[in-house]
Chains A and B, each alone.
Chain A
Amino acid sequence: MTSPVISATSLDLTFQTNDGPVHALSGIDLEIGKGEFVSFIGPSGCGKTTFLRCIAALEAPTGGMLTVNGMTPDEARRARAYGYVFQAAGLYPWRSIEKNIALPLEIMGYSRAEQAERINRVLDLVELSGFGKKYPWQLSGGMQQRASIARALAFDADILLMDEPFGALDEIVRDHLNEQLLELWARTEKTIGFVTHSIPEAVYLSTKIVVMSPRPGRITDVIDSPLPKERPLDIRDTPEFLEIAHRVRDGLRAGHAYDD
């Protein structure tokens, strides 16, 4: 058994606010293996984004242990362990698409030649070849989000952290991007952490679904998906798919998420 890529042991995070402490994360135990596609699902305030931010060292846990590639999240970040995709594409309007993708490469000090080579490769991965010279405002929302995924893939991080990347897109575009993301995952063999609040999206994409609930933010269920790695869109009508979706829904309900 190989060691996990991401490992959390009784992880706590409490924010001190003016209204008293907020327990964003409480007693999180989770292991994520290499090449897994893990979705975090739950209602607002369940800590799914906060947990992802802890992995990215954007938040500091107040208790417990968290390692990424066997290192602390801070060290892992400096070792360029992960690429992060935010809910908003967040492309710089004054940079063309290829210059946007070059941003992390410039900061990390890649040579010009290597930047160009990597930009071409990731543009191809997200099917945006030929759009490198365009500016963000010339692209649709879905294309912008693909460009931001390309930006996260440009340097060779083996972990891809995605915080509701398709949350702002309409369902048709979203389906298409989900398919593309699975292909990309199969080709690159990255470990993916994916925050969503869509049950079908979580079930369709993941090898492991982490169901969370709020106050305090905690894990209520971890489901290992029995679905095959090859997943056409119509797999969503199979009984297996519906059964997992049902279990996720039960998990969400068990977290008393809808009491108030």
Chain B
Amino acid sequence: MRNILPILAVLAALAVLWYAAVAPMNIRGALDVADRGGAEVIPAEPRDRFEQSAWRLMMANPDHIALGYSLDRPRLPTPVQVADELWNTTGEMALRGRAMSKRSLIYHGWITLQSTLWGFALGTVLGMAGAIAIVYSRVVDMSLMPWAIISQTVPIVALAPMIIVLSSQVGIEGRGVPKAIISAYLCYFPVLVGMVKGLRSPGAAQLDLLRTYSASGVQAFLKLRLPASMPYLFTSLKIGIAAALVGTIVGELPTGAISGLGARILIGDQFGTPLAIWAALFAAAILAGILVTLLDLTQRIILRRMGMQA
């Protein structure tokens, strides 16, 4: 538990920064609300306020700064407000038995999680298959690897609508499949790179040893290359699943989806409710944290079973 102190210190520093930022970010909103409520605000004209910096407004209206911390539609909500909103759209709804309501983040998180897991599975299979092909064939190495790298330089936001359009064109209904494809597109790359490195990690002497046993290629793969690549694989999987989640959310953003965390973020933006955006953002972060932690535990268990010092 020696580690808990630095962790808490960093968290506290973040919270202080956040709270400090709320005042200048919300001063305009606070003054508008105060103005409408009949309080005295300097300057009195909204248009004049628009032309002044947040700092000058704060200095001119010190009494109204506090109001910025309790707005209904804050530009930057406080952590407590975000936590409140998060609880209201998850735990509280679940307690009322409405966890799968369309307003619940559990429902939207579940939609996003499904596509993420499909994308992760697809991306992992593709990445591993690609890595095996690259390690065993020089031709594939020279021809596939450059395309894999190029694929990651194309912005996924630009590709996502095309993938949605194309998949509906070939008769795939719903958004689950195209979202999974977009997610796999981001996820396969770290798996591919990590597995190539892992499969190539056994040294020449290790391979020579198997040759002295006249081991077949399949035996060399199963007994040496694959187990040797495990630590690399898990590192890649952890990056991969985070990328898959990002891919799914991006797949939900510009495509008119109405469910999923990405859709919540977009809707929050369109309806001017930053609280909803922040809650969805934190829901996504928590989801990613859970997924990565689960993979980390799996890694520890498997590597320990394999006798490695994990």
Contacts and interface: CB of A to CB of B under 8 A. Distances in A.
Q: Which of B208, B213, B230 has the most CB of A within 10 A?
A: B213
A58 to B, nearest CB: 6
A92 B215 contact: no
A107 B223 contact: yes
Nearest to A56: B212
B214 A78 contact: yes
Interface stretch (B127-135, B170-178, B301-309): B301-309
A92 B201 CA distance: 12
Nearest to A161: B212
A90 B213 contact: no
B102 interface: no
A129 to B, nearest CB: 20
Interface in A64-91: 77-78, 80, 82-84, 86-88, 90
B205 interface: yes
A45 interface: no
Contacts of A95: 307
B56 interface: no
Q: Which of B212, B227, B307 has the most CB of A within 10 A?
A: B212
Tell me whether chain B's interface is mostly helix, strand or loop, or mixed.
helix
Contact of B209 (A86, A94, A135, A137): A86
B307 A103 contact: no
Interface string A37-75: 000000000000000000010100000000000000000
User: Interface extent on A, as a size class?
Assistant: 20 to 34
Given A93-B308, A107-B219, A77 B205 contact: no
A4 interface: no
Given A84-B212, A107-B223, A137 B206 contact: no
B205 A90 contact: yes
A13 to B, nearest CB: 16
A94 B304 CA distance: 9
Contacts of A103: 213, 223
B223 A94 contact: no
Contacts of B306: 94
20 contacts: A58-B211, A58-B212, A77-B212, A78-B214, A80-B214, A83-B212, A84-B212, A88-B205, A90-B205, A90-B206, A90-B209, A92-B224, A92-B227, A92-B228, A93-B307, A94-B307, A106-B223, A107-B223, A135-B307, A137-B309
- The 5 A-B residue pairs with the shortest CB-CB distance in the complex, in nearest-first order: A94-B306, A84-B212, A135-B307, A104-B213, A107-B215
Interface of A: 56, 58, 77-78, 80, 82-84, 86-88, 90, 92-96, 103-104, 106-108, 135, 137
